[in-house]
């Protein structure tokens, strides 16, 4: 049974975003990036990037529910990414199960979404425009250039979207859309965006002026 660890905010938004996060101090983070820049540098980059993302995600239009990757790091995570509406522990054998259980455990009246922490362009304005399409669609997705997605919103949770997906592959988006269409669900895709996985991604964000992506950051 899933258990909420703590609550911080009590605002009345009918929308909710589930954010799947790792503590930068515990366990591996950004392993493909770390292979190029080293483990410690990758940790510092992730810490700065995810912290900035969490702050920009704050809005009166939705609640932010933080889900920690491990029990041991949950307290540290909550001290770093503060002002959450709830902090909980992820459970499940793979990413799909973990996202599904988090979504099913989150209360909402309008729409609910799941997000990671490594797509810096996922701004409140982007989310608002994307989710406006839920008036005519069942699922709204922010796709990434590597074949995955950074954010997915829906008015009701559809378990079929989280099974038999090759997570962490270039097939994630394609397989998710196929699963949705097999269930008769209407899908809207927002503009593609970059997320951070490799040194090339880091260089992309550095060219665009993100401070955490600079060589001296």
pLDDT in tens, 90-124: 999 999 999 999 999 999 999 999 999 999 999 99
Residue 33 domain-assigned (yes or no): yes
Contact in structure between 172 and 149 (CB atoms under 8 Å): yes
- What does the pLDDT read at residue 4? 45
Residue 217 domain-assigned (yes or no): no
Domain that holds residue 35: 14-211
Residue 29 domain-assigned (yes or no): yes
Residue 190 domain-assigned (yes or no): yes
Residue 118 domain-assigned (yes or no): yes
Going across the sheet that includes 139-143, the strands are 4-6, 86-89, 63-68, 16-21, 112-115, 149-154, 139-143, 187-189
Residue 115 domain-assigned (yes or no): yes
Q: What is the pLDDT of residues 154-208, one digit of tens each?
A: 999 999 999 999 999 999 999 999 999 999 999 999 999 999 999 999 999 999 9
Residue 64 domain-assigned (yes or no): yes
CATH of the domain at 177: 3.90.550.10
Specify the pTM.
0.92
Supply the mean pLDDT for the chain: 92
How many domains does the chain fold into? 1
Output 86-91 pairs: Cβ under 8 A, ≥24 positions apart.
86/4, 86/5, 86/6, 86/7, 86/8, 87/4, 87/5, 87/6, 87/7, 87/8, 88/2, 88/3, 88/4, 88/5, 89/2, 89/3, 89/5, 90/20, 91/2
Q: How far apart are CA 214 and CA 51, in angstroms?
A: 16
Residue 1 domain-assigned (yes or no): no
pLDDT above 70 (res 78): yes
């Amino acid at each position: 049974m899933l258990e909420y660890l703590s609550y911080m905010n009590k605002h009345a938004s009918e929308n909710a975003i589930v954010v799947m996060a790792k503590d930068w101090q515990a366990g591996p983070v950004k392993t493909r990036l770390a292979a190029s820049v080293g483990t410690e540098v990758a940790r510092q980059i992730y810490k700065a990037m995810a912290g900035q993302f969490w702050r920009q995600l704050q809005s009166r239009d939705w609640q932010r529910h933080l889900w920690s990757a491990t029990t041991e790091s949950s307290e540290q995570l909550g001290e770093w990414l503060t002002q959450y509406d709830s902090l909980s522990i992820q459970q499940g054998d793979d990413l799909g199960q973990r996202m599904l259980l988090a979504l099913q455990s989150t209360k909402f009246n309008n729409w609910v979404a799941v997000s990671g922490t490594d797509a810096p362009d996922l701004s409140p304005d982007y989310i608002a425009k994307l989710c406006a399409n839920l008036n005519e669609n069942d699922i709204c997705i922010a796709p990434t250039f590597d074949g995955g997605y950074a954010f997915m919103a829906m008015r009701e949770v559809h378990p079929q979207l989280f099974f038999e997906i090759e997570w962490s592959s270039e097939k994630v988006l394609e397989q998710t859309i196929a699963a949705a269409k097999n269930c008769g669900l209407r899908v809207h895709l927002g503009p593609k965006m970059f997320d951070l996985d490799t040194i090339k991604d880091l260089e992309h964000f550095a060219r665009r002026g993100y401070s955490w992506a600079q060589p001296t950051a």
